[in-house]
Amino acid sequence: MDFTQSKGSSLKDVPHFLSIGGQVLDLSQHAIVVGILNVTPDSFSDGGRFFDSGKAIEHGLQMVADGAAIIEVGGESTRPGAEPVPVDEECRRILPVIRALANHTTAFLSVDTRKAAVAEAALEAGVHMINDVSGLRFDPHMAQVAARSGAAVTIMHMRGTPQDMQQHCQYQDVVHEVCHELQASVHMALDAGVDPDRIVVDPGFGFAKTWEQNLELLRRLGELRSLGRPIMVGTSRKSMIRRIVGDDSHALLIGTAATLVLAIQAGARLLRVHDVKEAVMVTKVCEAVERDA
Ligand code: HH2
């Protein structure tokens, strides 16, 4: 496959459909927002803020009210060097939150986990999607769990594990290699029987990439369209932005918004963010511009 195709883009020329929760979302004309809900003590940006189930549920419902189409619940931080969390503890953190959100909202729910046992428990509790930052490589059972359940799956690119990933940043051509490695993960999913319409791909900003490589990935994000699946981006508040604009929360918000505009223009359709309201505004402006084109 020629990964150098698909450079110029517009919202209109990305005919992407996503099957999730018994519905087919047409993402060809617009991008959707995925609200991050980290039920962790140590996430890089919001660690500890929603570790309490009650606060997490409240925040999840607020993100739905703010316009998130999907709420993504995670119980294990994947920031560089984060401590791994055992299955029982990850389940203890996320399951009450997922159950409550499933009862109180019709938004789609996703679980951010690398572990098949956690994904299975989350599916039972009501999620419609699995986001695996290891691209189905960490747990050999993950692809089967995804296939059996009929859930949508986000396949993200990473090398190594969160503990050692920053030692695996050697690329000849980062965009080419990310595409090839994502494609291998997509094939694993297809071989296990995952419906292609349920698959989303994500280049994994900040995962086994240097700052320069993150910027190059964003600059050439359109090349991922050759994978033929909707693209998710997770740049929100990350160090690739922090290094440019500094630590201040307002600066990070504006910096994140800039990356979202660039990503949408390159063809991204799922925006994984902490600040839902602002990301929804970004999508509305981008859509309005495209509509009038
Ligand atoms: N980034 C993080 C976690 N999961 N999943 C996808 N698909 N794409 C991403 O870019 C991505 C992800 C890291 O961000 P966050 O969840 O805010 O932090 P932490 O892992 O420390 O909880």
Closest CA relative to residue 225, chosen from 288, 267, 170: 267
Distances 49 to 61, 98, 103, 235 between C-alpha atoms, Å: 15, 17, 22, 20
Query: Taking the complete model, does pTM exceed 0.85, yes or no?
Result: yes
277 is catalytic: no
At 6, is the pLDDT very low, low, confident or very high (cuts 50, 70, 90)?
very low
pLDDT digits (tens, 9 = 90+) for 91-108: 999 999 999 999 999 999
Looking at the predicted structure, is the pLDDT value of residue 48 above 80? yes
291 three-state secondary structure: helix
Ligand 1 geometric centre to CA of 194 (Å): 23
Q: Are 232 and 154 in contact (CB under 8 A)?
A: yes
- Dihedral in degrees, nearest 10, Cα atoms 137, 141, 147, 149: -130
238 is catalytic: yes
pLDDT digits (tens, 9 = 90+) for 101-141: 999 999 999 999 999 999 999 999 999 999 999 999 999 99
Is 205 a pocket residue for ligand 1 (Cβ < 6 Å)? yes
260: CB partners within 8 A, 6+ apart: 233, 235, 268, 271, 273, 279, 282, 283
152: CB partners within 8 A, 6+ apart: 18, 19, 20, 21, 110, 128, 129, 130, 198, 199, 200
Is 45 a pocket residue for ligand 1 (Cβ < 6 Å)? yes
Ligand 1 geometric centre to CA of 100 (Å): 22
